[in-house]
Structures are given as C-alpha cells and as structure tokens.
Amino acid sequence: MKEFSMRREYAWRSIFIAALLPVFALTVVGQMVRIQNSPEAQSFRDQSDSFAIVERTFYPERGEIYDRNGHLLAGNETAYTVGVNISNMLDATALAREVSAQLGLDYEETYQKLLNPYGLVYVPLANYVSSEAIAPLKASYKKAAEDASAEYRLSPLSGLEFQPTLQRHYPENELASNIIGFFNRDARGNFGVEEKYNNLLAGVPVKAWVPQDPNRAAEIPKVPNGATLILTIDRDLQAAAEHSLDQALFDYGARNGTIIIMDPRTGEILAMATTPRLNLNEFWNYGNFYNQSYEFNPAISMQYEPGSVFKVLTMAAGLDTGTVTPDTTYNDVGYIVVGDVLIQNWDRRPWGLQNMIGCLQHSLNVCLAWVSTAMGQDNFYNYMQRFGFGRPTGIDLAGETPGRLKTPGDIDWYPVDLGTNAFGQGVAVSPIQMLMAVSAVANDGRMVTPHVLYGMVSDGRQVNIQLEPSGTPISQETAHTLSEMLSISLENEASLALVPGYRIAGKTGTAEIPVNGFYDNTQTNVSFIGWGPMDDPQFMIYVWLDRPSVSIWANDTAAPLFAEIAQKTVILLDIPPDAVRLQVAQH
C-alpha cells in the first residue's frame, strides 16, 4: 500500500511538471518573439547590417603599353612586401638572420626592427621584392614550417608574411625610355606616355560596399583594368636608331644626340632615340643621369638654334609668296647688310652668281638672308608662325617646350633678326618642331601633327587614333618644287646623306653655339633632315648631334648618320628601291 501511495505521488509530480513545460516553452517563445520585435532588436539588426559590409576602394590594374607590332614595352608584375606579424613572432634572431641573408639586408638593423616594433603589429622589412628574389626565402620558410610540424613544435620563422602587390615592369629596360617615361611608387606617371596618359592607364577606381561573409564573394565588384595603349613606335626600328646614335656619339665625339623617324603622311613617330637613356626598372637612378628635366627627352624638351636646316622653310616661304623661283639668280658677293649689321657666309667668302638650288646646295647664309628681306618681315614671320614655331606641336608626350620665335614688336627683336633668322640663327626650336614644320614640304604642303599613340584598348574594344593635319602652310606645288630642289642639291654635291637605290630630299644644318653672348665657331650643333622616297615619302628622319669633336660640320657627321639610319629604315619598313617600286607600279 505504501508503495502504491509513492507511485501516485510521483505520477502527480510528473503530470505537474509535464503541464508546466508547455507553459514554460510558450513563455520562452513569447519572450523571444517580444525581444525580436522590440526596438532594441531592430537596433541590433541595423548594426549587424552595417558590420556585415565594409566600404572599400578598388584600384584597377594599370594598363599595358605595346609597340605597333605587339611587343610589350610596359606591363605589371607581382612583387612582395616582406614583413613580420609581431603577435605571431617566435624567434626574432632566426627571422632577422634568415631574412637578411636571403634579401641582402643588414642583420643588425633587421633585428632591431623586430626587437623594437614601436607598437606596430606588422613590421615591414623589405618592399617591392621580385618573385625571383623572394623564391629562396619562401622555400626556407616552407621547409622550416614542415620541419617544425614534424616535431610538433612552432617554426622559428613563425610570423613571417609575404604580401603580394603589383609593380610596373619594363621588359626592354632602357629601350625607348624617353618615350615611355616611368611609373613611380607614388602611383604617378612621370615623363613620356606614362605621364601624358596617366589617367587612361590608371583607369577609374571604384568605391563599393563589400560583404564580410565569404559566401557572398560573388557580390564583390569586378573593376575594369586601365586602358591598354598601342604606340606608333616600331620596337626594332627604335632599337636600330638607338644603336646607331650610340655609335655616332663614339665615332664623332659628340656629347649627346637625337634621332627621330616619322611617317610624314600621318605624323606617326616610328622611332625617337635620345641620349642618355634610363633603365626604367631602376627609375630611382634618375638623378644620376639627368640634371634638368628637359634632358630626359631632348627631342621634345630641348630648344636650340637649328642652323641651316631652317633654310628649307625660308626657301619654302620665298617660293610660296612668289618672291623667288628655282631659277631666280643672286650674285653672292660674300656679305649682305641687314639692319645695319653685316652678315656673311659660313666660309666668309663670295660664291658669285647662283640660282636658288645653288643657294641651298652651298648653304649660303647671304642668299637666304636676301630671300627673307626680299619677301619682307610680315610675310617671313607669318610663314614661320604658320609652320608652328613659337608654340608646342601638341605631340602626346609630357614636357614639350614651345621654343621661341621673336617677331617684330617684341622687345628683344631687332631688324637684323630678319636676316639671321632666315638661316636658323636667333630662333629657338626643338627637334620635333623642325620635323613637324618640314613635314609640310614632304607631304604636299600639309603639315602633320606628330604623335606616338596609335590606338587604345578598353573594355575589349580597340579605338585607333586619326589626327587631322595641323595646317597647310604652303601649296602642293611649292612642296613639290622645293623637294625637287633639295634632292638635286644633294645629288649635285654627292652628299654623304645619299642612300643607294633611293632618291632622297634633305638639308644639312651646322649651327654655332652661343657662349657668353657670342657665337663660338669651334662648337657646333650639327643636324640633317631628310625624307624619301622622294616621289612617295614614307619616312622622314631628323638627326641632331651636340658638339661633335671629330668635325664641326654636318656634312661630315650628321649626313652620313642620316644615310645609315635611312638604310636601316627602308629595310625594316620593307620599302623597295625606287626602280623596283616604280616597275611594280607600272604593272
């Protein structure tokens, strides 16, 4: 009976507890519902949403740069920042020893950085370490980790981290460095294409809210890379021009030089060689190569007195105004007075009766000064401005100089300038300005705009660049007449600029360098500008050398250098000799 009574007591207790459990459960559920719908819960939900995503800025990969034939000139490669996470560091001595030995760092300096991090959680030890340089260190780190794991202990290199990043890479090193420029570690392009087209290459950074949940990685935005640029430069022709220029500096004892090769029909720059040149992968050595910024690319940034190559433009203006014709004669007595100042020929002697071809052939200062005075200052300076002097050409490279063309009314212009400017003295130009101006003579009177950008690729589409002519300073008839005159003058003197199998038009230039306000006849800049084939110009070359010591005359230095470059150009551009080309055209 007692046992039965105890069972009934336990049964009632069980029933009571069983009855309370649903009530308790309902109470808990009700409380949960209340909490979930309370203002506080909404506040927590709002906070959780804000912590679930973070705002980040995504920077595009910088666009690549190629030559016209697809050779990579500038790209990107992975580099690493090597550092130590102090919270995971186990052995500062082992870390300092291994990192300094593998990367060539100072051991004591590395050790002190790790020993005294000054509150830093992560201590960088080396930046921009290439994949090749970091490979041995990565191998040591991996081996130390495997050995430690096998012995159930921590690696002495614990805490070592390799953080990848992108850095600019120039596979051709110094080739075309003056054209390309460089991208520094402040994330800015400097000089050349890298600076001129910095925004296009850099692309557009994108700000976006990024989910912290790795399962939502698909929501992270894809940022388009910067635009890829295709240049007009021919890599092989550029290399040939640089090689010839370097050899010419050695052969003629010149200090520096420039060679520009352009298509006179379009203004496309095919090659632009200058000295000195910087290895773009070591841009931090800039200060060891250049004292002034204009020295980086003197083809566009340096201004100088061009000398007798300027006579081409004086004669163009004289022909176009009708002041002279090829058969106009002039009795050269060896001097002329302009603005009460005596002007003489380069050799200080008279050349007698000459037609205009003879004046160009013998490069007579007196004759060209007579042409400029005969057409008058208004006509002369109007034509020189139409040829683009005194303002930038607009070439798409950073750092172009506008040059200087003094004109009547300027405080430093004198009447004698009308005479001396006619043969390239007292006027400041850049090599690219001379090339653009004379392109009007080679291109049926139309002056092209020199440029290095052929096209760009963005979002999978290529857009090619087509520029309109910069102007038409002279007529087609004048251009043809002058080209013929220049070609005949070279042939008559058997110039060293002649190219076997091709008819060439061109002109030498020897300019004395002003020193302390006076012209020094022992120091000159020498140049040659020419184009061909004469009946269908497909290349135009400007050669300039600074103070050659073997000879001060362009005939002995710049002219043969032009011929050498022209021969390489016709081979690399696959331009047949005149006889072959004309024979093919007849069939």
The residues pairing with 262 across neighbouring beta strands, listed in sequence order, are 269, 540
d(CA 234, CA 244): 15
Q: What global pTM score does this model have?
A: 0.86
Cα 392–Cα 398–Cα 403 angle in degrees, nearest 5: 30
- Mind giving me the DSSP string for 71-131? -EEEEEEEEEEEEEEGGG---HHHHHHHHHHHHT--HHHHHHHHH--TT-SEEEEEEEEEH
Cβ 556 vs Cβ 496: under 8 Å? yes
Closest CA to 426 of 526, 363, 517, 336: 517
d(CA 364, CA 346): 7
d(CA 106, CA 117): 17
Cβ 434 vs Cβ 542: under 8 Å? yes
CA atoms within 13 A on the CB side of 90: 12
Closest CA to 375 of 312, 324, 334: 324
Q: Hey, where are the domains in the chain? A: 2-54, 74-171, 235-586
User: What are the DSSP E strand ranges found in 106-205?
Assistant: 122-130, 160-169, 182-183, 189-190
Residue 547's CB is within 10 A of a number of other CB atoms, namely: 18
d(CA 90, CA 88): 6
Give me the residue label for tokens 């929501």: 219
Superfamily of domain 74-171: Penicillin-binding protein 2a (Domain 2) (3.90.1310.10)
Tens-digit pLDDT profile for the chain (587 aa)?
Answer: 545 555 556 666 666 666 666 766 666 666 666 666 666 656 655 555 555 666 667 678 899 999 999 999 999 998 999 999 988 888 889 899 999 999 999 999 998 989 888 888 899 999 889 889 999 999 999 988 888 888 888 888 888 999 888 889 999 999 999 999 999 888 889 999 999 999 999 888 777 666 665 555 555 667 778 899 999 999 999 999 999 999 999 999 999 999 999 999 999 999 999 999 999 999 999 999 999 998 999 999 999 999 999 999 999 999 999 999 999 999 999 999 999 999 999 889 999 999 999 999 999 999 999 999 999 999 999 999 999 999 999 999 999 999 999 999 999 999 999 999 999 999 999 999 999 999 999 999 999 999 999 999 887 788 888 888 889 999 999 999 999 999 999 999 888 999 999 999 999 999 988 887 778 888 999 999 999 999 999 999 999 999 999 999 999 999 999 999 999 999 999 999 988 888 877 76
Cβ 541 vs Cβ 562: under 8 Å? yes
CATH number of 235-586: 3.40.710.10
Cα 496–Cα 499–Cα 502 angle in degrees, nearest 5: 145
Pull the structure tokens for residue 62.
């910088």
d(CA 561, CA 259): 9
Give me the residue label for tokens 């051709």: 172
